[in-house]
Each structure stands twice: as C-alpha cells, then as structure tokens.
Amino acid sequence: MNTLTVSETGTATRPKPKGWSQTRIWGTILLVPYVLVFLFFVVYPVCYGFWLARDPHNYVELFEDPIFVRSIFNTLVFLLIGVNLKMAVALLLSGFFLHDRIWIRWLSLIFILPWAVPSIPTILSVRFMLNPEWGIINQLIFRLTAEDGPNWLNDPTLGLAFSILVHIWKSLPFWTLILLSGRLAISKDLYEAASVDGASSVQQFRFVTWPSMKTLYVTCTVLSMIWTLGDFNSVYLLTGGGPADLTHVLATLGIRYLRLDQVNLSMAAIVTALPLVLPLVYFMMRRLSK
C-alpha cells in the first residue's frame, strides 16, 4: 500500500516506485533486437576485419606490392580530379537548371537518369560502347575514317580517365540537385538589389551566389570525397582494375586480394584507407557542428 509523504513545500507527494516501470521494461525489450542487429552486422564485421589486419607483416607485404603503390596514386588522382571537377560542373549546371523554361525541365528529367538507374546497367553500357571490336564508338570511327579505333580500356591512363568520367557522369545529377536547392534558398531580393546597382551576372555570382553557397559547396565536396573513397563500381565494372591491375583504387584493391585468396592483405588494404577517411570525417563533423 502506497503512503503519502509531505515535501518541503508542504504538498503531499507519492513516493517513486522501486525498480523499473512497465514502460521502461517494454522499451528495453523492443530495443534489444536493434542492438543485436547492430552488434552482429556492424560491430562484429568491423572488429573481425581489424583482427585479420592486425599482423604488421601484412602491411610490409602490402607496401612491397607495386600494385598497392599504384592504387594509392590512382586513388589520389581519382579524388583530386574527379571530385573537384564533378563539383565544379555541378555548380555550373545548378545555375543552368535554375532557369524556368519548359525544355529545361524536360532536359532535367533526362539528366537525372544516370543517377536514378542502377550502376551495373549504366556502367556496363559504357564498357560495351568502348569495346574495340563491336563498340559503337569504334564503329563510328571506322565509318568516318575507314580506320580501326583504339583499344580504349587497354591503356592504364585512358582506363583511369574513363573511370573518372563515368564516376562524374553517374553522380553528377545528385550533387547538381543539392546545389540547385541551395540556389533556390537564396532570396531573390538580393539579386534584384544587385541588378539595380548595375551588377553583371558574374558579379552577382561572385558577391551574392557564392557567399551564400560556399558552406554548402565545401560540405558537399568533403562528403563526396568520403563517398568516392568507397566507390568501387566505376572502376570495377568498367576496367576491372586492368590492364595488368594498373587502374585499381583502394576500394577495388581489396577485391583483387580476395580473388587471390589473400584475405589478410584485403583487410589491410582497406585499413590503409583510414588515414584518408578519418580526417575527412573529422572535418565534416566539425563543419556540421557549427
């Protein structure tokens, strides 16, 4: 039987029940399955991967592999050229799709298709187009010049360049939409005031658009770098890392070691990407916290 107690203010209060309440018990029961799923599918694979890559000899063997050194170089080129070029083009296209015209609206529907369609059919279609024997590009070259076209993906430089272009083509619509939403959030009164002052289009972009979108642009660039480090579709589906494993990036190098039944090196190759990922994540969280 509950008894009433008198507080310092003179009001009667009922003592707090001992133990867990029924609401807290059911809340804990419903939360347990999510915790188990997180532990089994997130924590366990990550810890197991670090455990496989714990041996220092794995990293010695990894750095002695010339394919690994080439993969680091390819990854840096992919990030510096691919991400920055993609974001710059997305910024320009966001201004183009801002115009309210019916043909631009229809064009935007076509423009978004590469991002909306899954990666396998879109990237493989590009690979078929670049086929040296029956690809449509070499067929057009033969009809125009009566000469055979080059083997596009048999050159490491061209293979990596096409992989970067495919990555830009595939993800460009998404970042264009993000930056377009940023442009739409800018008040039209600022542009009207700048127009009254005689500002040109370039000056309006410099003094109105860019200051308003600079934070969004930098945040999107950092986030795109993080996602690009984990993107293996553009390289793996287009070149497979060839020719001679010279177009691998860190995201696809782990697959190469798995195919060679070298699981420890595969995990070590993934761990070596952390010095690139962690600073980007830290910088992203700092910006979001502000």
Residues forming a β-bridge with 12: 6
**Residue ranges per structural domain of the chain:** 19-52, 67-288
Q: What span, in angstroms and rounded, lies between the C-alpha atoms of 269 and 45? A: 16
Which residues lie closer than 8 Å to 285 by C-beta, 6 or more apart? Answer: none
Alpha-carbon distance of 97 to 104, in angstroms, equals 6
- 8-state DSSP, 186: S
Q: Which of 197, 192, 191 is nearest to 210 (CA)?
A: 191
Full-model pTM: 0.82
Mean pLDDT in consecutive groups of 10 residues from the start of the chain, 290 residues: 51 57 82 89 82 82 89 93 94 89 87 88 90 86 81 90 94 94 89 86 88 90 90 89 89 86 85 84 78
Q: Specify the pLDDT at position 1.
A: 47
What residue spans of 64-135 are helical by DSSP H?
66-77, 84-96, 102-111, 113-116, 119-129
Architecture of domain 67-288: Orthogonal Bundle (1.10)
pLDDT digits (tens, 9 = 90+) for 31-84: 888 999 988 888 888 788 778 777 788 888 888 889 999 999 999 999 999 999
In angstroms, the CA 180 to CA 185 distance is: 9
Residue 73: per-residue pLDDT: 93
- Give 13's strand partners: 5
6 forms bridges with which residues in the sheet?
Answer: 12
Written as one string, the DSSP assignment of 192-246 is: HHHHHTT--HHHHIIIIIHHHHHHHHHHHHHHHHHHHHT--HHHHTTTTT-STT-
Spatial CB neighbours of 139, under 8 Å, sequence gap ≥ 6: none
